[in-house]
Amino acid sequence: GESVGLHLPTLSVQEGDNSIINCAYSNSASDYFIWYKQESGKGPQFIIDIRSNMDKRQGQRVTVLLNKTVKHLSLQIAATQPGDSAVYFCAENFAGGTSYGKLTFGQGTILTVHP
């Protein structure tokens, strides 16, 4: 899972393996979740999102799982490639008053893929 402070969680995998990145979110009222990928020197890039009325959503090589009971989100990357090496952030949002669009980001997980 993600942590606060200087030391980001890290995950090292071999090319071709499946990767699972975890995130514990904070607000039980959050109803929209996004995973972003940030490569070195670039801004975060959208990967996949999921609404709170779903528990699973699949994209191309990626799957997001949502467990609202324990406030847990995971990102699964199939057949991980060296180009997947990046920092991965989960983000949550809740529709409270004027909070639309006000995403709260986790601290990030560093994924390193070895050829």
Partner 1 sequence: DAGVIQSPRHEVTEMGQEVTLRCKPISGHNSLFWYRQTMMRGLELLIYFNNNVPIDDSGMPEDRFSAKMPNASFSTLKIQPSEPRDSAVYFCASSPDLSLNEKLFFGSGTQLSVL
Positions in the binding site for partner 1 (CB under 8 A): 4-6, 31-32, 34, 41-46, 49, 51, 89, 93, 95, 98-108
Name which of 44 and 77 has its Cβ closer to partner 1: 44
Name which of 65 and 103 has its Cβ closer to partner 1: 103
Q: What would the 3-class secondary structure string for 3-19 be?
A: CCCCCCCEEEEECCCCE
**C-beta of 86: minimal distance to partner 1 in Å?**
13
Name which of 69 and 98 has its Cβ closer to partner 1: 98
H or E element that contains 73: strand 72-77
In whole angstroms, what is the distance from residue 14 CA to residue 7 CA?
A: 22
**C-beta of 88: minimal distance to partner 1 in Å?**
12
108 to each of 6, 35, 96, 97, 114, how far by Cα in Å? 11, 10, 24, 27, 19
**C-beta of 58: minimal distance to partner 1 in Å?**
17
